[in-house]
Each structure stands twice: as structure tokens, then as C-alpha cells.
């Protein structure tokens, strides 16, 4: 696990975007796992900038999103289909047929979830999975108590998640109670897991995920078991890490580290 702590949200967003850009440069047909929410917006803005200003080419890239609300059509302003189109896809040259967001309106969720898992496997698995973290430590919509071996499925959302997301809807009661989400086990199969977190409100969750026990009570803690998990966090989100100084020391010494 690599913990990168920087002063600002803008810095961590740019650094995380550079990891993705380097992958796309070296592997033009890379498979990216993408997340929604306010946290990855800075990362997506930086990818858009690199596409427009530096020629970063997404024409052969394939994407798979983590999740979607059950019951929302792709054109609903709060659907994750809509979010991805507005905040990334329509601003870069990714091919529409190569973008995948779970369906919130399928007639057969069980079969769709199996198909989604098979589709990821068909493309050779995810190279980099972008993640955010909920205030209770969840990743994707894998709420506290989710199996750390779980696969793509329909999940009942926790009250805290619904309350946290209510700000995006006209009324709190409009927030869907169910979502279709990649499982923790699905996420852990990505070659690299890249989690971005910012703000003091995420400090407890970040500390629990990085330094707490591996537990279904904090599904992000499962990243401790991943061989290439990267955390990009600002100073506020890092404020409750007991080993914060050591993580910063590692980054300071990294340029001189021996090649292993």
C-alpha cells in the first residue's frame, strides 16, 4: 500500500491523473475502472486537460464504472450514466461502445450482474480502478457489512449513504434505496487500486481503512490486502493517520530507493 499525502485537493487530483495518463501512454488499450461522486471530479478535469492540451488519447481505452442507482434511467440528471457523460466521456475521445456503466433499469439484475463480471473478464480485467471512500469507509456501494469477497450485485444502501447523497437530489426521499455495484472481490482483482480522498470529513474513514483492522465494517480496509493499492489524500484527510509522518518520509525518500 502506498500512501501519497499532498497539501491540496488539486495536487492529489493531478498526481492521480498522472498515474492513469502514464498507463494510457504505455498501454493505449488500457481498461479503466471509474468512480462517480464529487471526489474524482478533479482527477477527471485533469484527464480532460491532458487530452485537450497534451494529446492524451483515449480512443482505444475501455471503461467500467463501479455502480449505478437502481431505478434511474441513463438520462436522469442524478444517474451515474449522466454523471460520466457530463464530467468525462463527452470531453475526451473515448468510444461510446467502449464505456460501460451498470444498468439501473434492467429487467433481470441477477443476469446483468453476471454479464458485467463476464464483460470485465472478457477485456482482460481492470488495469486501474479509481475509488472514492464514504464517510463510513465504504468503497463503491459496498456498505458496512458487505462481504470482502462480494461480486457485482444489487445492494441496499445504508441510511448514512442516503443522507450523504441527499444533497444531489431535490428531496431526500428521492434518493434511491438500492444500487447495483461491483463487489469488494471484484474491485480487488484490478491490477492497481487508486483511491482519492480529501477533506477533514474523510479523515476517520481514511484512518480506519489504512491503519485499522481489515473488516467488513470498513470495506475500504480490504485494500490493505491488495498488492498495488495507492491512496492519494490531502493533508486534511490524512490528519488522523498515526503513521502520517512515516508515509511522508517514504515519499521524500522514494526517488533514491533501490530498484527492486
Sign of CA pseudo-dihedral 91, 92, 96, 100: negative
Q: How far apart are CA 93 and CA 17, in angstroms?
A: 16
What is the H or E stretch that residue 221 is in?
none
Q: How far apart are CA 23 and CA 247, in angstroms?
A: 24
Residues in the chain: 260
138 is an active site residue: yes
Cell of 58: 483515449
The residues facing 179 across adjacent strands are 69, 155
Sign of CA pseudo-dihedral 174, 112, 81, 148: positive
67 is an active site residue: yes
Q: How far apart are CA 36 and CA 31, in angstroms?
A: 17
The closest alpha carbon to 80, from 131, 109, 37, 40, belongs to 37
136 is an active site residue: yes
Among residues 136, 189, 234, 235, which one is catalytic?
Answer: 136
Sign of CA pseudo-dihedral 71, 115, 102, 60: negative
Among residues 46, 67, 189, 235, which one is catalytic?
Answer: 67
Q: Are 61 and 47 in contact (CB under 8 A)?
A: no
Among residues 117, 138, 189, 235, which one is catalytic?
Answer: 138
Cα distances (Å, whole numbers) of residue 56 to 130, 196, 199? 18, 21, 29
- What does the DSSP 8-state code read for residue 28? T
Among residues 143, 189, 234, 235, which one is catalytic?
Answer: 143
* 9 Cβ neighbours under 8 A, 6+ residues apart: 42, 198, 199, 234
Q: Are 126 and 189 in contact (CB under 8 A)?
A: yes
Catalytic residue numbers read 67, 136, 138, 143
Amino acid at each position: 500500500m502506498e500512501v501519497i499525502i499532498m497539501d491540496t485537493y488539486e495536487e492529489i487530483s493531478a498526481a492521480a491523473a498522472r498515474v492513469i495518463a502514464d498507463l494510457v501512454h504505455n498501454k493505449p488499450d488500457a481498461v479503466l475502472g471509474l468512480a462517480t461522486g464529487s471526489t474524482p471530479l478533479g482527477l477527471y478535469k485533469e484527464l480532460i486537460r491532458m487530452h485537450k492540451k497534451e494529446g492524451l488519447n483515449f480512443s482505444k481505452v475501455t471503461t467500467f464504472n463501479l455502480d449505478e442507482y437502481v431505478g434511474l434511467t441513463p438520462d436522469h440528471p442524478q444517474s451515474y450514466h449522466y454523471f460520466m457523460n457530463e464530467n468525462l466521456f463527452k470531453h475526451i475521445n473515448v468510444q461510446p461502445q467502449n464505456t460501460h456503466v451498470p444498468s439501473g433499469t434492467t429487467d433481470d439484475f441477477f443476469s446483468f450482474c453476471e454479464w458485467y463480471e463476464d464483460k470485465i473478464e472478457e477485456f482482460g480485467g481492470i488495469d486501474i480502478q479509481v475509488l472514492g471512500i464514504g464517510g463510513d469507509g465504504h468503497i463503491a456501494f459496498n456498505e458496512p457489512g458487505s462481504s470482502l469477497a462480494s461480486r457485482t450485485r444489487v445492494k441496499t444502501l445504508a441510511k448514512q449513504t442516503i443522507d450523504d447523497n441527499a444533497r444531489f437530489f431535490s428531496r431526500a426521499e428521492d434518493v434511491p434505496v438500492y444500487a447495483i455495484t461491483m463487489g469488494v472481490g471484484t474491485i480487488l482483482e484490478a491490477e492497481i487500486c487508486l483511491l482519492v480522498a480529501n477533506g477533514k470529513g474523510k479523515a476517520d474513514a481514511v484512518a480506519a481503512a489504512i491503519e485499522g483492522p481489515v473488516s467488513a465494517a470498513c470495506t475500504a480496509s480490504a485494500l490493505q490486502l491488495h498488492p498495488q493499492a495507492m491512496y492519494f489524500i490531502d493533508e486534511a484527510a490524512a490528519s488522523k493517520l498515526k503513521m502520517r509522518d512515516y508515509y511522508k518520509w517514504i515519499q521524500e525518500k522514494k526517488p533514491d530507493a533501490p530498484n527492486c
